[in-house]
Amino acid sequence: MRISRAVAAMPTSAIRDLMTLLADQPDVINLAPGEPDFPTPQHIVKAGMAALEAGQTKYCHHAGILELRSQLVSKLRDTNGITTGPEEIVVTNGAIGSLYSTFAALVDPGDEVLLPNPGWPNYGMMAAIRSAVVKSYRLSADTGFLPTIGQLEQLTTPATKLLLINSPSNPVGAIIPKDLMIDILEFARDHNLWVVSDETYDVITYDSDYVSAASLDTDQRVVSVFSFSKAYAMTGWRVGYLVAPPAIAPALASLQESLISCVNVASQWAALAALTGTQDVVTSMKNAYARRRARALEILGEYGVPVYPPAGAFYLWVDITSAGMSSRDFASSLLENRRVAVVPGSGFGSAGEGFVRATFSAPDDQIVEGITRLAAYCSDVAAEARRRGALRAGGSH
Ligand code: PLP
Protein backbone atom coordinates (compact mmCIF):
# COMPACT_ATOMS: atom_id res chain seq x y z
CA MET A 1 0.00 0.00 0.00
CA ARG A 2 1.44 3.43 -0.91
CA ILE A 3 0.38 6.93 -1.85
CA SER A 4 0.52 7.94 -5.50
CA ARG A 5 3.91 8.64 -7.04
CA ALA A 6 2.76 12.15 -7.96
CA VAL A 7 1.85 13.10 -4.41
CA ALA A 8 4.94 11.41 -2.99
CA ALA A 9 7.02 13.59 -5.33
CA MET A 10 5.31 16.81 -4.22
CA PRO A 11 7.74 19.28 -2.59
CA THR A 12 6.66 20.80 0.73
CA SER A 13 6.54 24.51 1.40
CA ALA A 14 9.25 26.21 3.47
CA ILE A 15 6.65 28.76 4.55
CA ARG A 16 4.43 26.09 6.09
CA ASP A 17 7.46 24.42 7.72
CA LEU A 18 8.28 27.71 9.41
CA MET A 19 4.70 28.30 10.55
CA THR A 20 4.77 24.92 12.28
CA LEU A 21 8.04 25.83 13.97
CA LEU A 22 6.68 29.20 15.16
CA ALA A 23 3.38 27.95 16.47
CA ASP A 24 4.47 27.97 20.12
CA GLN A 25 6.93 30.89 20.17
CA PRO A 26 4.91 34.00 21.10
CA ASP A 27 7.93 36.29 21.65
CA VAL A 28 8.99 36.08 18.01
CA ILE A 29 8.47 39.01 15.62
CA ASN A 30 6.91 37.14 12.79
CA LEU A 31 7.74 38.61 9.37
CA ALA A 32 7.15 35.29 7.64
CA PRO A 33 3.42 35.15 6.84
CA GLY A 34 1.96 35.84 3.44
CA GLU A 35 -1.27 37.48 4.46
CA PRO A 36 -2.59 40.91 5.45
CA ASP A 37 -2.29 41.64 9.16
CA PHE A 38 -5.58 43.59 8.98
CA PRO A 39 -8.91 42.05 9.89
CA THR A 40 -11.51 41.68 7.16
CA PRO A 41 -13.38 45.04 6.98
CA GLN A 42 -16.55 45.01 9.06
CA HIS A 43 -19.05 45.61 6.25
CA ILE A 44 -17.71 42.52 4.47
CA VAL A 45 -17.97 40.38 7.62
CA LYS A 46 -21.52 41.64 8.15
CA ALA A 47 -22.51 40.76 4.58
CA GLY A 48 -21.22 37.21 5.11
CA MET A 49 -23.20 36.90 8.35
CA ALA A 50 -26.32 38.38 6.76
CA ALA A 51 -26.07 35.85 3.94
CA LEU A 52 -26.00 33.00 6.43
CA GLU A 53 -28.95 34.42 8.33
CA ALA A 54 -30.87 34.85 5.09
CA GLY A 55 -30.48 31.15 4.40
CA GLN A 56 -27.63 31.25 1.87
CA THR A 57 -26.53 27.90 3.17
CA LYS A 58 -27.05 25.66 0.14
CA TYR A 59 -25.03 24.70 -2.93
CA CYS A 60 -24.90 27.24 -5.73
CA HIS A 61 -23.86 27.13 -9.39
CA HIS A 62 -20.43 25.49 -9.57
CA ALA A 63 -18.94 28.57 -11.29
CA GLY A 64 -20.14 30.81 -8.45
CA ILE A 65 -23.21 32.94 -7.73
CA LEU A 66 -24.22 34.96 -10.77
CA GLU A 67 -24.45 38.19 -8.73
CA LEU A 68 -20.74 37.95 -7.91
CA ARG A 69 -19.65 36.95 -11.40
CA SER A 70 -21.66 39.81 -12.90
CA GLN A 71 -20.06 42.30 -10.54
CA LEU A 72 -16.64 40.87 -11.33
CA VAL A 73 -17.22 41.73 -15.00
CA SER A 74 -17.18 45.43 -13.99
CA LYS A 75 -14.20 44.99 -11.65
CA LEU A 76 -12.20 43.27 -14.38
CA ARG A 77 -13.09 45.99 -16.88
CA ASP A 78 -12.31 48.91 -14.57
CA THR A 79 -9.28 47.59 -12.68
CA ASN A 80 -7.70 45.16 -15.12
CA GLY A 81 -8.80 46.37 -18.56
CA ILE A 82 -10.22 42.92 -19.30
CA THR A 83 -13.41 42.62 -21.32
CA THR A 84 -15.28 39.48 -20.36
CA GLY A 85 -18.67 38.04 -19.40
CA PRO A 86 -19.95 36.14 -16.34
CA GLU A 87 -19.80 32.84 -18.22
CA GLU A 88 -16.02 33.17 -18.60
CA ILE A 89 -15.48 33.70 -14.88
CA VAL A 90 -15.18 30.88 -12.35
CA VAL A 91 -15.23 31.66 -8.62
CA THR A 92 -12.81 29.31 -6.87
CA ASN A 93 -11.45 28.45 -3.42
CA GLY A 94 -8.95 31.28 -3.41
CA ALA A 95 -6.54 31.94 -6.24
CA ILE A 96 -5.05 28.59 -5.36
CA GLY A 97 -8.25 26.87 -6.51
CA SER A 98 -8.07 28.75 -9.82
CA LEU A 99 -4.46 27.74 -10.29
CA TYR A 100 -5.05 24.09 -9.51
CA SER A 101 -8.09 23.88 -11.80
CA THR A 102 -6.10 25.50 -14.58
CA PHE A 103 -3.23 23.04 -14.18
CA ALA A 104 -5.75 20.18 -14.08
CA ALA A 105 -7.53 21.39 -17.21
CA LEU A 106 -4.49 22.24 -19.30
CA VAL A 107 -1.63 19.95 -18.29
CA ASP A 108 -1.21 16.25 -19.04
CA PRO A 109 1.40 14.08 -17.31
CA GLY A 110 4.79 14.71 -18.91
CA ASP A 111 3.87 18.14 -20.27
CA GLU A 112 6.43 20.81 -19.54
CA VAL A 113 5.47 23.92 -17.61
CA LEU A 114 7.54 27.09 -17.29
CA LEU A 115 7.54 28.35 -13.70
CA PRO A 116 9.32 31.32 -12.08
CA ASN A 117 12.36 30.72 -9.87
CA PRO A 118 12.18 32.23 -7.29
CA GLY A 119 8.44 31.75 -7.25
CA TRP A 120 5.54 30.89 -5.00
CA PRO A 121 6.22 27.26 -3.99
CA ASN A 122 2.65 26.06 -4.58
CA TYR A 123 3.14 26.25 -8.37
CA GLY A 124 5.74 23.49 -8.15
CA MET A 125 3.50 21.43 -5.87
CA MET A 126 0.62 21.64 -8.34
CA ALA A 127 2.89 20.74 -11.23
CA ALA A 128 4.05 17.70 -9.24
CA ILE A 129 0.48 16.56 -8.53
CA ARG A 130 -0.25 16.82 -12.26
CA SER A 131 2.99 14.88 -13.05
CA ALA A 132 4.17 17.81 -15.15
CA VAL A 133 7.84 18.48 -15.87
CA VAL A 134 8.93 21.79 -14.34
CA LYS A 135 11.23 24.05 -16.33
CA SER A 136 12.23 26.94 -14.08
CA TYR A 137 12.99 30.32 -15.53
CA ARG A 138 15.35 32.32 -13.39
CA LEU A 139 14.49 35.75 -12.08
CA SER A 140 17.62 37.62 -11.09
CA ALA A 141 18.60 41.05 -9.86
CA ASP A 142 20.34 42.00 -13.11
CA THR A 143 17.04 41.81 -15.01
CA GLY A 144 14.96 43.37 -12.24
CA PHE A 145 13.66 39.90 -11.31
CA LEU A 146 11.70 39.81 -14.56
CA PRO A 147 11.51 36.98 -17.09
CA THR A 148 13.59 37.34 -20.24
CA ILE A 149 12.42 36.12 -23.63
CA GLY A 150 15.92 34.73 -24.34
CA GLN A 151 15.72 32.43 -21.34
CA LEU A 152 12.15 31.36 -22.03
CA GLU A 153 13.26 30.53 -25.61
CA GLN A 154 16.08 28.37 -24.28
CA LEU A 155 13.81 26.40 -21.97
CA THR A 156 10.92 25.86 -24.36
CA THR A 157 10.61 22.57 -26.26
CA PRO A 158 7.78 21.01 -28.29
CA ALA A 159 6.58 19.44 -24.99
CA THR A 160 6.10 22.84 -23.32
CA LYS A 161 2.45 23.53 -22.71
CA LEU A 162 2.12 26.38 -20.29
CA LEU A 163 3.93 29.48 -19.11
CA LEU A 164 3.09 30.76 -15.66
CA ILE A 165 3.73 34.42 -14.90
CA ASN A 166 3.15 36.20 -11.61
CA SER A 167 2.85 39.99 -11.47
CA PRO A 168 3.08 41.58 -8.93
CA SER A 169 5.21 38.67 -7.83
CA ASN A 170 5.65 36.74 -4.65
CA PRO A 171 8.32 36.70 -3.21
CA VAL A 172 9.99 39.63 -5.00
CA GLY A 173 7.19 42.13 -5.69
CA ALA A 174 8.29 42.68 -9.30
CA ILE A 175 5.76 43.93 -11.83
CA ILE A 176 5.99 42.93 -15.48
CA PRO A 177 5.91 46.17 -17.51
CA LYS A 178 3.63 46.51 -20.53
CA ASP A 179 6.34 46.19 -23.20
CA LEU A 180 7.66 42.98 -21.71
CA MET A 181 4.12 41.63 -21.29
CA ILE A 182 3.51 42.22 -25.02
CA ASP A 183 6.74 40.35 -25.82
CA ILE A 184 5.79 37.48 -23.49
CA LEU A 185 2.43 37.10 -25.22
CA GLU A 186 4.08 37.16 -28.62
CA PHE A 187 6.53 34.50 -27.44
CA ALA A 188 3.60 32.38 -26.17
CA ARG A 189 1.89 32.77 -29.56
CA ASP A 190 5.03 31.70 -31.41
CA HIS A 191 5.30 28.54 -29.28
CA ASN A 192 1.58 27.94 -28.88
CA LEU A 193 1.66 28.06 -25.07
CA TRP A 194 -1.10 28.75 -22.59
CA VAL A 195 -0.27 31.68 -20.37
CA VAL A 196 -1.46 31.47 -16.79
CA SER A 197 -1.22 34.90 -15.23
CA ASP A 198 -1.35 34.94 -11.44
CA GLU A 199 -2.46 38.44 -10.47
CA THR A 200 -3.36 37.72 -6.85
CA TYR A 201 -1.75 41.02 -5.77
CA ASP A 202 -3.27 43.13 -8.58
CA VAL A 203 -4.38 46.08 -6.48
CA ILE A 204 -1.39 46.19 -4.12
CA THR A 205 1.08 48.28 -6.12
CA TYR A 206 3.39 51.24 -5.36
CA ASP A 207 3.88 53.94 -8.03
CA SER A 208 4.24 51.31 -10.73
CA ASP A 209 2.19 50.64 -13.80
CA TYR A 210 0.72 47.20 -13.46
CA VAL A 211 -0.87 45.65 -16.53
CA SER A 212 -3.06 42.54 -16.77
CA ALA A 213 -1.82 40.01 -19.30
CA ALA A 214 -5.35 39.30 -20.54
CA SER A 215 -5.90 42.97 -21.40
CA LEU A 216 -3.21 42.53 -24.09
CA ASP A 217 -4.20 39.02 -25.17
CA THR A 218 -5.08 39.00 -28.87
CA ASP A 219 -5.75 35.31 -29.36
CA GLN A 220 -7.39 33.86 -26.29
CA ARG A 221 -4.48 32.08 -24.67
CA VAL A 222 -4.42 33.74 -21.25
CA VAL A 223 -6.06 32.41 -18.09
CA SER A 224 -6.01 35.13 -15.44
CA VAL A 225 -6.12 34.37 -11.74
CA PHE A 226 -7.26 36.81 -9.04
CA SER A 227 -8.16 36.76 -5.37
CA PHE A 228 -10.06 38.54 -2.63
CA SER A 229 -7.50 37.29 -0.09
CA LYS A 230 -4.92 40.07 -0.19
CA ALA A 231 -6.81 43.13 -1.46
CA TYR A 232 -9.62 42.79 1.09
CA ALA A 233 -7.80 40.91 3.88
CA MET A 234 -10.00 37.88 3.29
CA THR A 235 -7.51 35.00 3.28
CA GLY A 236 -9.66 32.70 5.43
CA TRP A 237 -12.84 33.23 3.42
CA ARG A 238 -11.30 31.41 0.47
CA VAL A 239 -12.60 33.34 -2.51
CA GLY A 240 -10.64 33.76 -5.71
CA TYR A 241 -11.60 33.68 -9.37
CA LEU A 242 -10.28 33.00 -12.81
CA VAL A 243 -11.13 34.47 -16.18
CA ALA A 244 -10.62 32.13 -19.08
CA PRO A 245 -11.05 32.21 -22.85
CA PRO A 246 -14.53 30.97 -23.93
CA ALA A 247 -13.04 27.77 -25.38
CA ILE A 248 -11.91 26.49 -21.97
CA ALA A 249 -14.07 28.37 -19.44
CA PRO A 250 -16.81 25.67 -19.40
CA ALA A 251 -14.25 22.93 -18.70
CA LEU A 252 -12.78 24.98 -15.86
CA ALA A 253 -16.25 25.59 -14.45
CA SER A 254 -17.24 21.94 -14.56
CA LEU A 255 -13.99 20.90 -12.90
CA GLN A 256 -15.33 22.62 -9.80
CA GLU A 257 -18.11 20.04 -9.68
CA SER A 258 -15.64 17.26 -9.12
CA LEU A 259 -13.27 19.20 -6.89
CA ILE A 260 -15.41 21.30 -4.55
CA SER A 261 -18.98 21.49 -5.89
CA CYS A 262 -18.93 25.25 -5.27
CA VAL A 263 -17.19 27.86 -3.12
CA ASN A 264 -18.72 28.57 0.32
CA VAL A 265 -21.80 30.58 -0.61
CA ALA A 266 -21.78 33.00 2.33
CA SER A 267 -18.15 33.82 1.49
CA GLN A 268 -19.22 34.67 -2.04
CA TRP A 269 -21.84 37.12 -0.75
CA ALA A 270 -19.17 38.66 1.46
CA ALA A 271 -16.92 38.97 -1.60
CA LEU A 272 -19.74 40.70 -3.47
CA ALA A 273 -20.03 43.21 -0.61
CA ALA A 274 -16.27 43.75 -0.86
CA LEU A 275 -16.68 44.78 -4.51
CA THR A 276 -19.79 46.91 -4.13
CA GLY A 277 -18.89 48.54 -0.79
CA THR A 278 -16.45 51.37 -0.19
CA GLN A 279 -12.99 50.87 -1.68
CA ASP A 280 -11.51 53.18 0.97
CA VAL A 281 -10.67 50.06 2.97
CA VAL A 282 -8.39 48.89 0.16
CA THR A 283 -6.80 52.33 -0.12
CA SER A 284 -6.13 52.60 3.59
CA MET A 285 -4.51 49.13 3.77
CA LYS A 286 -2.46 50.02 0.72
CA ASN A 287 -1.37 53.29 2.30
CA ALA A 288 -0.27 51.41 5.41
CA TYR A 289 1.77 48.98 3.29
CA ALA A 290 3.32 51.88 1.40
CA ARG A 291 4.30 53.61 4.66
CA ARG A 292 5.81 50.44 6.15
CA ARG A 293 7.58 49.62 2.88
CA ALA A 294 9.23 53.05 2.84
CA ARG A 295 10.30 52.76 6.49
CA ALA A 296 11.66 49.23 6.06
CA LEU A 297 13.64 50.22 2.94
CA GLU A 298 15.05 53.18 4.86
CA ILE A 299 16.23 50.96 7.74
CA LEU A 300 17.82 48.40 5.42
CA GLY A 301 19.49 51.29 3.58
CA GLU A 302 20.90 52.68 6.83
CA TYR A 303 22.55 49.33 7.54
CA GLY A 304 23.70 48.94 3.93
CA VAL A 305 21.75 45.71 3.43
CA PRO A 306 20.76 45.37 -0.24
CA VAL A 307 17.07 44.85 -0.96
CA TYR A 308 14.90 44.92 -4.06
CA PRO A 309 12.34 47.73 -3.64
CA PRO A 310 9.07 45.92 -4.39
CA ALA A 311 6.80 47.45 -7.03
CA GLY A 312 3.83 45.52 -5.64
CA ALA A 313 2.63 42.96 -3.04
CA PHE A 314 3.93 43.27 0.55
CA TYR A 315 7.26 41.49 0.71
CA LEU A 316 10.88 42.58 0.96
CA TRP A 317 13.37 40.45 -0.91
CA VAL A 318 16.47 41.01 1.19
CA ASP A 319 19.92 40.12 -0.12
CA ILE A 320 21.82 38.40 2.69
CA THR A 321 24.79 37.13 0.65
CA SER A 322 27.17 39.33 2.68
CA ALA A 323 26.38 37.17 5.73
CA GLY A 324 28.09 34.27 3.98
CA MET A 325 25.60 31.60 5.00
CA SER A 326 22.77 29.76 3.31
CA SER A 327 19.37 31.44 3.44
CA ARG A 328 18.05 28.56 5.57
CA ASP A 329 20.90 28.91 8.10
CA PHE A 330 20.49 32.66 8.12
CA ALA A 331 16.72 32.43 8.77
CA SER A 332 17.11 29.91 11.56
CA SER A 333 19.97 31.73 13.28
CA LEU A 334 18.09 35.04 12.97
CA LEU A 335 15.16 33.34 14.66
CA GLU A 336 17.33 31.83 17.35
CA ASN A 337 19.54 34.86 18.05
CA ARG A 338 17.28 37.85 17.36
CA ARG A 339 13.79 36.32 17.58
CA VAL A 340 12.69 37.41 14.10
CA ALA A 341 11.10 35.01 11.64
CA VAL A 342 11.57 35.41 7.88
CA VAL A 343 11.30 32.87 5.08
CA PRO A 344 14.55 31.53 3.58
CA GLY A 345 14.81 32.45 -0.09
CA SER A 346 15.64 28.87 -1.03
CA GLY A 347 12.04 28.01 -0.10
CA PHE A 348 11.06 29.79 -3.32
CA GLY A 349 13.46 27.86 -5.52
CA SER A 350 17.19 27.51 -6.08
CA ALA A 351 17.45 31.09 -7.38
CA GLY A 352 16.17 32.31 -4.01
CA GLU A 353 19.45 31.31 -2.35
CA GLY A 354 21.19 34.37 -0.90
CA PHE A 355 17.89 36.05 -0.02
CA VAL A 356 15.23 36.00 2.65
CA ARG A 357 11.63 37.17 2.35
CA ALA A 358 10.34 39.50 5.05
CA THR A 359 6.76 40.70 4.96
CA PHE A 360 5.76 44.26 5.69
CA SER A 361 2.25 43.12 6.38
CA ALA A 362 2.67 43.43 10.14
CA PRO A 363 2.03 46.31 12.56
CA ASP A 364 4.34 49.32 12.07
CA ASP A 365 6.21 48.91 15.37
CA GLN A 366 6.93 45.25 14.59
CA ILE A 367 8.17 46.14 11.12
CA VAL A 368 10.55 48.75 12.53
CA GLU A 369 11.82 46.47 15.30
CA GLY A 370 11.91 43.31 13.17
CA ILE A 371 13.60 44.89 10.15
CA THR A 372 16.11 46.69 12.42
CA ARG A 373 17.02 43.40 14.07
CA LEU A 374 17.26 41.67 10.68
CA ALA A 375 19.45 44.42 9.19
CA ALA A 376 21.67 44.64 12.29
CA TYR A 377 22.07 40.86 12.36
CA CYS A 378 22.96 40.74 8.68
CA SER A 379 25.61 43.43 9.04
CA ASP A 380 26.96 41.95 12.30
CA VAL A 381 27.38 38.54 10.69
CA ALA A 382 28.90 40.11 7.57
CA ALA A 383 31.37 42.11 9.70
CA GLU A 384 32.30 38.96 11.63
CA ALA A 385 32.79 37.07 8.35
CA ARG A 386 35.03 39.89 7.06
CA ARG A 387 37.01 39.93 10.32
CA ARG A 388 37.61 36.17 10.12
CA GLY A 389 38.54 36.52 6.45
CA ALA A 390 41.05 39.28 7.31
CA LEU A 391 42.52 37.18 10.13
CA ARG A 392 42.90 34.23 7.77
CA ALA A 393 44.50 36.43 5.13
CA GLY A 394 46.80 37.96 7.77
CA GLY A 395 47.72 34.52 9.10
CA SER A 396 48.76 33.26 5.69
CA HIS A 397 51.52 35.89 5.31
N1 PLP B 1 -0.65 33.34 -5.74
C2 PLP B 1 0.32 33.93 -5.04
C3 PLP B 1 1.48 34.51 -5.77
C4 PLP B 1 0.25 33.99 -3.64
O5 PLP B 1 1.22 34.59 -2.95
C6 PLP B 1 -0.86 33.40 -2.98
C7 PLP B 1 -0.95 33.39 -1.52
O8 PLP B 1 -0.02 33.67 -0.81
C9 PLP B 1 -1.85 32.81 -3.77
C10 PLP B 1 -1.72 32.80 -5.14
C11 PLP B 1 -3.05 32.16 -3.15
O12 PLP B 1 -3.96 33.06 -2.63
P13 PLP B 1 -5.41 32.63 -2.20
O14 PLP B 1 -5.53 32.91 -0.74
O15 PLP B 1 -6.32 33.48 -3.01
O16 PLP B 1 -5.59 31.19 -2.52
Q: pLDDT digit string (tens) for 117-141?
A: 999 999 999 999 999 999 999 999 9
Give the residue from 238, 371, 242, 241 showing the smallest Cα distance to 294: 371
Residue 300 has pLDDT above 70, yes or no: yes
Predicted confidence (pLDDT) per residue in 320-356, tens digit: 999 999 999 999 999 989 999 999 999 999 999 999 9
Task: Among 122, 126, 232, 235, name the best residue to mutate to test ligand 1's pocket (greatest count of ligand atoms within 8 A of Cβ).
Answer: 122
Mean pLDDT score, 227-247:
98
Q: What's the pLDDT at 24? A: 67
- Where are the strands (E) in 57-212, listed by range? 89-92, 112-117, 133-138, 160-166, 194-198
Mean pLDDT score, 146-174:
98
Pairing of strands 160-166, 112-117: parallel
Q: What's the pLDDT at 52? A: 98
**Under DSSP, is residue 160 helix (H, G, I), strand (E, B) or coil?**
strand
Predicted confidence (pLDDT) per residue in 385-394, tens digit: 888 877 777 7
Give the residue from 273, 170, 186 showing the smallest Cα distance to 228: 273
| Percent of the chain predicted with pLDDT > 70 | 96
pTM confidence score: 0.95
Ligand 1, atom nearest to 198 Cα: 1
Give the residue from 59, 19, 38, 8 showing the smallest Cα distance to 360: 38
Ligand 1, atom nearest to 227 Cα: 15
Ligand 1 neighbours, Cβ below 6 Å, are 34, 94-96, 120, 166, 170, 198, 200, 227, 229, 235, 240
Ligand 1, atom nearest to 170 Cα: 3
In one-letter notation, the amino acid at residue 131 is S
